[in-house]
C-alpha cells in the first residue's frame, strides 16, 4: 500500500480569492513587477476576447481561447529569462507573447498564413504544437542538449491536464529525470480535456503527485494566483539552472470559454461551475483587488491601460490583415528546407490548375 501522506496534495497560494495577500509565508515582490504582470494579464485578456470575436466574424480560423488562464501563463513566463526555451501547445498564446512573440505573428498563425508559424530568430520559442503532449518530449530533448553543451538555458513545456493521459508525457518525465535535464513541465490543469473532466482521466488525487514516480519534484499551485505561480516557477527555474533536475508544476486553473471555437461547453459543463470560476475566482479581478489595496492601481490607470491595449491590438490586426496572401501552390515550399522533384511536380500541377480556374 502507498503512503498517502507523501503525495502532493497541498496547493500553494499567496493571494486568496478576495485579493488578500498571505504575508505569513515571508514573500515580497517588487512593485514594478506587480504592475508589469497585471498589465500583461489585461492585455492578453483583451487580445483573447478580440481573437474570439474575429473567429466568429470569419476573419481567422479555429481558435483555442485562454481566458481564465492568464495568471498561470504570465506568472510562469515572467519568471523566465529571454534565453530560456518555451515549448507551447495551442493555448499558450499569452505565455508566448509575454516571452516576446509579436501579436501580429499570432494573428498570421490563426489566419492560416504560411508565415504564421515562423518564430523570429531572436526568440527561443518553438512553433505551436498541435499533437497533444509531444512538446514535452521536445522540451526534454532541448534541455538535454543544453546540458550537454554546458549552457544555462531552461526548457519549459506547457500542456493541459488532458496531455497527462498521453504516453509522450510519461516518456518525457522519465527521460528528463533519468538524465537530470534542466526542464520544467508546466501543466495548466483547467479541469477539462475538451469534454472529459479530470476525474475521468485519472484517479490520482493530483497531477503534481505523478512526479513522485519519476523521482522529480512535484508542485501544486493555485493557477489563478499570479504571485504564487511566479514564485513556484522562479524556484523551479533556479533548481533547473543549478543542475538539480526537472520539476512538474500543476497550476490549478479553469478555461472560462470553449475548448476551441468548434466546441460547445454548455453540453458538458454546469452553468454554476462556470459562473463560480468567472465571478469568484477570476485571476485578473483577484490581482486587481490586491493592487488596489496596495495603492498601486486606480480606475484611471485601468481606463488608460484598456485604451492602450486596444490600440496595440488594433495595430497588430491591421498589420496582419494587410500582409499579402501567399499563393496556394507556395505551400510546397514550406515542407522541407530543400525541395525535391516530386514536390516540384505537385507544386507546378497546383499552379497550372489555379491558372486554369482564373481563365474561366
Query: How do residues 283-295 score in pLDDT, each as one tens digit?
Result: 999 999 999 999 9
Which pLDDT score, from 0 to 100, does residue 8 have?
Answer: 73
Grid cell, residue 284, equals 485578473
Instruction: Tell me the domain boundaries of the chain.
Output: 4-326, 328-360
Q: Catalytic: 259?
A: yes
Predicted model pTM: 0.94
Q: Rg of the chain's alpha carbons, rounded to an integer? A: 22
Q: Looking at 45, 50, 99, 255, which residue is catalytic?
A: 255
pLDDT confidence bin for 9, thresholds 50/70/90: confident
Q: Looking at 259, 269, 286, 288, which residue is catalytic?
A: 259
**Digit-coded pLDDT (tens) for 158-186:** 999 999 999 999 999 999 999 999 999 99
Q: Looking at 27, 56, 268, 352, which residue is catalytic?
A: 268
At which residue does the C-alpha cell 484517479 appear?
203
Q: Catalytic: 90?
A: no
**Cα 314 to Cα 107: distance, rounded to the nearest angstrom:** 11
**Cα 314 to Cα 336: distance, rounded to the nearest angstrom:** 34
Q: Catalytic: 254?
A: no
Matching CATH number, 4-326, of 3.20.20.80, 3.40.50.970, 3.40.50.800, 3.90.330.10: 3.40.50.970
Grid cell, residue 35, equals 504592475
**Cα 72 to Cα 228: distance, rounded to the nearest angstrom:** 9
**Digit-coded pLDDT (tens) for 329-350:** 999 998 898 989 999 999 999 9
> How many Cα atoms occupy the beta-carbon half-sphere of 233 within 13 Å?
31
**Cα 355 to Cα 360: distance, rounded to the nearest angstrom:** 9
Given a contact cutoff of 8 angstroms between Cβ atoms, the answer to whether 68 and 255 are in contact is yes
Given a contact cutoff of 8 angstroms between Cβ atoms, the answer to whether 64 and 90 are in contact is yes
- Interior CA angle at 312 toward 310 and 313, to 5°? 65
Amino acid at each position: 500500500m502507498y503512503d498517502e501522506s507523501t503525495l502532493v496534495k497541498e496547493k500553494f497560494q499567496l493571494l486568496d480569492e478576495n485579493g488578500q495577500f498571505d504575508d505569513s509565508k515571508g514573500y515580497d515582490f517588487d512593485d514594478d513587477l506587480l504592475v508589469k504582470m497585471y498589465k500583461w494579464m489585461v492585455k492578453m485578456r483583451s487580445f483573447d476576447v478580440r481573437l474570439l470575436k474575429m473567429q466568429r466574424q470569419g476573419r481567422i480560423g479555429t481558435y483555442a481561447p485562454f481566458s481564465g488562464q492568464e495568471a498561470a501563463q504570465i506568472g510562469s513566463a515572467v519568471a523566465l529569462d529571454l534565453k530560456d526555451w518555451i515549448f507551447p501547445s495551442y493555448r499558450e498564446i499569452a505565455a508566448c507573447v509575454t516571452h516576446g512573440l509579436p501579436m501580429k505573428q499570432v494573428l498570421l498563425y490563426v489566419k492560416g498564413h504560411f508565415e504564421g508559424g515562423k518564430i523570429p530568430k531572436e526568440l527561443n520559442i518553438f512553433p505551436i504544437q498541435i499533437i497533444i503532449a509531444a512538446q514535452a518530449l521536445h522540451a526534454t530533448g532541448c534541455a538535454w542538449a543544453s546540458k550537454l553543451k554546458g549552457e544555462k538555458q531552461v526548457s519549459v513545456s506547457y500542456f493541459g491536464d488532458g496531455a497527462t493521459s498521453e504516453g509522450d508525457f510519461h516518456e518525457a518525465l522519465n527521460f528528463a529525470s533519468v538524465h537530470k535535464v534542466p526542464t520544467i513541465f508546466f501543466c495548466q490543469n483547467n479541469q477539462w480535456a475538451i469534454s472529459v473532466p479530470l476525474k475521468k482521466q485519472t484517479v490520482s488525487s493530483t497531477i503534481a503527485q505523478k512526479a513522485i514516480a519519476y523521482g522529480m519534484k512535484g508542485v501544486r499551485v493555485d493557477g489563478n494566483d499570479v504571485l504564487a505561480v511566479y514564485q513556484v516557477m522562479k524556484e523551479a527555474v533556479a533548481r533547473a539552472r543549478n543542475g538539480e533536475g526537472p520539476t512538474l508544476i500543476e497550476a490549478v486553473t479553469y478555461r472560462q470559454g470553449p475548448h476551441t471555437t468548434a466546441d460547445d461547453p454548455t453540453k458538458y459543463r454546469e452553468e454554476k461551475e462556470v459562473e463560480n470560476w468567472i465571478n469568484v475566482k477570476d485571476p485578473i479581478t483577484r490581482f486587481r483587488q490586491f493592487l488596489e489595496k496596495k495603492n498601486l492601481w486606480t480606475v484611471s490607470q485601468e481606463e488608460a491601460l484598456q485604451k492602450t491595449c486596444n490600440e496595440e491590438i488594433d495595430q497588430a490586426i491591421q498589420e496582419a490583415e494587410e500582409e499579402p496572401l501567399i499563393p496556394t501552390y507556395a505551400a510546397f515550399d514550406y515542407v522541407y528546407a530543400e525541395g525535391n522533384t516530386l514536390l516540384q511536380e505537385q507544386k507546378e500541377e497546383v499552379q497550372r490548375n489555379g491558372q486554369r480556374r482564373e481563365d474561366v
